[in-house]
Amino acid sequence: MTNDSLVVKRNPQVAWRELDGKIMLVTPADAMLHLLNDTGSFLWKQLDAPRAANDLAAALCAEFEVDEDTARGDVREFIQEILGKNMLERA
């Protein structure tokens, strides 16, 4: 389970581009292409500097008008998934 105060940043080795509002990532270890959904794309764009999970959840609440518990759950899932694929690093 991801801690809400965990601070993460983008892995600088991950190539990414925004196309039609969606973020596409290419992981260097396996050259796999990953397409983020709207929520993931929004969160990725928030990571232009290291951010704490709870700050990302607050930004998600403001952008998508979701409740705090839902936002925290979405952020935890996002971080766990892409940390596992080495797209993010702990800051």
pLDDT at residue 64 is higher than 80 = yes
Q: Residue 5's pLDDT is what?
A: 85
Asked if the structure places residue 90 within a domain, the reply is no
Q: What is the C-alpha separation between 28 and 6, in angstroms, rounded? A: 24
Q: Residue 21's pLDDT is what?
A: 87
CATH number at residue 40: 1.10.10
Domain that holds residue 19: 7-85
Q: Which residue has the higher pLDDT, 28 or 82?
A: 82
Q: What percent of the chain has pLDDT over 70?
A: 98
Asked if the structure places residue 2 within a domain, the reply is no
Asked if the structure places residue 29 within a domain, the reply is yes
Q: What is the C-alpha separation between 9 and 56, in angstroms, rounded? A: 11
Q: What is the C-alpha separation between 59 and 67, in angstroms, rounded? A: 11
Asked if the structure places residue 1 within a domain, the reply is no
Asked if the structure places residue 39 within a domain, the reply is yes
Total tally of structural domains belonging to the chain:
1
CB 68 within 8 A of CB 34: no
The two structure tokens encoding residue 45: 């764009």
**pLDDT tens digits for range 19-61:** 998 999 999 889 999 999 999 999 999 999 999 999 999 999 9
Q: Residue 2's pLDDT is what?
A: 61
CB 2 within 8 A of CB 53: yes
